[in-house]
Structure 1
């Protein structure tokens, strides 16, 4: 249904049910229920979709014989997902019984379901045979076989011995190909590869063998497998697991290979940065667990965890969204700025001061990756007035090697006009950027030497690809429109002759260039709001482009304001030791001015990837 409730589909038969795809979804309403019941026959179907904008429809598949289904989707973008029940188990366990095979289950809702004894919720799968979930779909956590967003997941399966354990990461016999998540971040995700014989539980996810002598055993809570339980090794294992979850979100969405960088080296990396630059940095992980905000601070001296108890995940995300929108729309923002400072910074402030930290590097969970952190406020001043700031997708994905670029030349690309001969470009209805020419000219004057500019008709894909392979250019400046939308193929950078999609950016070959490009500047971009995939595209921009660092904006700032900030940024880049400090000094100059002191003009600009 396009506008209303999807119609319900019910099929009941004494013997086999064979049917193709069933789609009761609604793009503007509630998905219809799907119910398939056989008394003693197999149930075989194609894909089942009961997704809905307002809520997803329930899906019930019941028989005593084999079940073979395609993809299952009861998700909802604005409301609760539909409950999913798939059962072919006998009242009492029977050995060698038929199993259940399906592709994957997406039961992610925007709101949690209401669970009680009379209203079961979430996902419940029960079989006396083996369960095989053979495919995955991308989520912010990576390749996923089963997903809810806070709702419980219960799996009862017919294995559990040493010969047929339930495996997360291996669906050949009894298990799932991808991860299992309830959407609650670290605490609610079972990452592959893991293998379970006994009943196990992680948050509200349960995996239970049906074999009688196993099913009644007490639950084992899933925890990281630490060979050494010393506090340091435990903290190292915790950060490695956290990094794996965060990194998988990016690699799954951006289609990138996993990194070889070891997050256990964090303290050593930060110590080396301090020795090379004189900058004392802190990594701040802001993630959600059990509906609470958790902060992990990692410095050259410390690796510790704080749980923020005076708020919830929903409140933090809603406040972050309001904060971003208010600054972008130039309406009062101080209340939300103070709340976010209280939650994200205040619990760590004593440690930051005691260790003389000057640079904060944020690694954020979904809902926080597009936060204009520089404008957080303690009641006396903005966060950027105390610290330089960076946004890192994850330490594991970031090349943290340091190189001084104070005197490095720039390759600058400028598109001030819209190419009317390109139908693809015309359809975007983008506006000209009249200050681009002045911006490029100023950068050329500041950087000098062999710096080179390509303007309008010269700023083609082929020219950018060819010129940027010149190893003398360690900085590439793109003074043109950039759009970060929900999907990679909808996000683009405007060149004269084409829209360079984010999923095409590696065609430039920057990820294979040695040495890597140190800094990519995109001075006139904006991001879509309220979209977790958009956040992954923005925060993962440097990784996707194959560069060490990227400077980009969360929303389109006035042409003149951008030109002012960029001029000051390149001026500061000639004297300071790290890129994030050059951005900070440029932002401070804007704050001290009369015309551009509002955060609208400076808070959008974010140093992504390595801040050093």
Structure 2
């Protein structure tokens, strides 16, 4: 939202709730974070076209800032790893592709690496069976993970409701295709800020960093690495989101990370403290 004085986020930290009743419930779940982090990124999905070097850099940066974090990439970033290790973590971070099923959001999937035991796809309806009572924050650094259908209870069905129902106090999700390199920059700053700020303030400051243009050097340095589009392409030329929820598309002509395309897709849902 942009008014005559600029963007709302330049004046206020903003968080969201699926519904008023859900917000009351989530406020009662406030949990003290002990930096027990599980992060999976850039899983091996069987084709180089789906590789996300920026997502791998994103989760490896978490390990730099939080040495005790459990970080898994490529073949180790599996569905089984997530299901086995998530229960006692207060932060879960997934940096990968996702596919939203607009007809039945409960069958939307997050793509993780497969194993000989089975597929790496994690469906939203499976998340309901996860025990995430220790989880303060889940970050879904994939595309369209915040989307879903409105239920009769005015809540969004999909990943958001699934993780909140499983016990998460809050989620950081995306609303459209995200740029691989800009997302890595935002997430690095988010975790840095999280050491001294609330979740909602940490996200706001990370987004303001992009608005100020501080992510431009990252995008330039990672050109050809993060799958960024050609110079001169703009967000308006991208068309509709890809069916596979691809991360990584194009920067604006002057690599202006102040454009909402780069910083606005991520929102915090739930307890912002």
Return the TM-score normalized by structure 2.
Answer: 0.73
DSSP 3-state at the match of 1:455 = strand
Tell me the residue number matched to 1:21.
Answer: none
CA deviation vs aligned residue, 1:197-236 (integer Å, no higher than 9, x gap): xxxxxxxxxxxxxxxxxxxxxxxxxxxxxxxxxxxxxxxx
Unaligned runs of 5+ in 1: 1-375, 421-428
CA 1:520–1:529: 2 relative to 1, 3 Å? closer
Specify which of 45, 48, 52 is matched with residue 433 of structure 1: 52
RMSD of aligned Cα (Å): 2.5
Contact 1:392–1:539, Cα closer than 8 Å, also in 2: no
CA 1:530–1:607: 2 relative to 1, 3 Å? closer
Contact 1:444–1:452, Cα closer than 8 Å, also in 2: yes
Tell me the residue number matched to 2:78.
Answer: 460
Residue 589 of structure 1, CA deviation? 0.6
Bigger CA radius of gyration = 1
Tell me the residue number matched to 2:164.
Answer: 543
Residue 453 of structure 1, CA deviation? 0.8
Distance 1:447 1:507 in 2: 28
Tell me the residue number matched to 2:30.
Answer: 402
- Residues 1:564 and 2:189 are matched in the alignment: no
- Residues 1:381 and 2:6 are matched in the alignment: yes
Distance 1:530 1:546 in 2: 19
Unaligned runs of 5+ in 2: 115-119, 217-255
Residue 495 of structure 1, CA deviation? 1.3
* Alignment size in residue pairs: 220
Distance 1:556 1:387 in 2: 24
CA 1:555–1:501: 2 relative to 1, 3 Å? same
- Residues 1:555 and 2:216 are matched in the alignment: no
Residue 492 of structure 1, CA deviation? 1.0
Contact 2:96–2:141, Cα closer than 8 Å, also in 1: yes
Structure with higher strand content: 1
CA 1:543–1:580: 2 relative to 1, 3 Å? same
DSSP 3-state at the match of 1:435 = helix
- Residues 1:483 and 2:110 are matched in the alignment: no
Q: Equivalent residues in 2 for 1:65-214 (5 A)? A: none
DSSP 3-state at the match of 1:500 = strand
Residue 474 of structure 1, CA deviation? 0.9
Contact 2:125–2:162, Cα closer than 8 Å, also in 1: no
Residue 379 of structure 1, CA deviation? 1.1
Distance 1:537 1:501 in 2: 9
Distance 1:493 1:601 in 2: 21
**Bigger RCO of structures 1 and 2 (CA < 8 A, at least 6 apart):** 2
Specify which of 110, 124, 131 is matched with residue 493 of structure 1: 110
Return the TM-score normalized by structure 1.
Answer: 0.34
Contact 2:97–2:110, Cα closer than 8 Å, also in 1: yes
Distance 1:490 1:579 in 2: 28
Residue 531 of structure 1, CA deviation? 5.6
Structure with higher helix content: 2
Tell me the residue number matched to 2:211.
Answer: 591
Contact 2:170–2:270, Cα closer than 8 Å, also in 1: yes
Distance 2:65 2:148 in 1: 38
- Residues 1:600 and 2:261 are matched in the alignment: yes
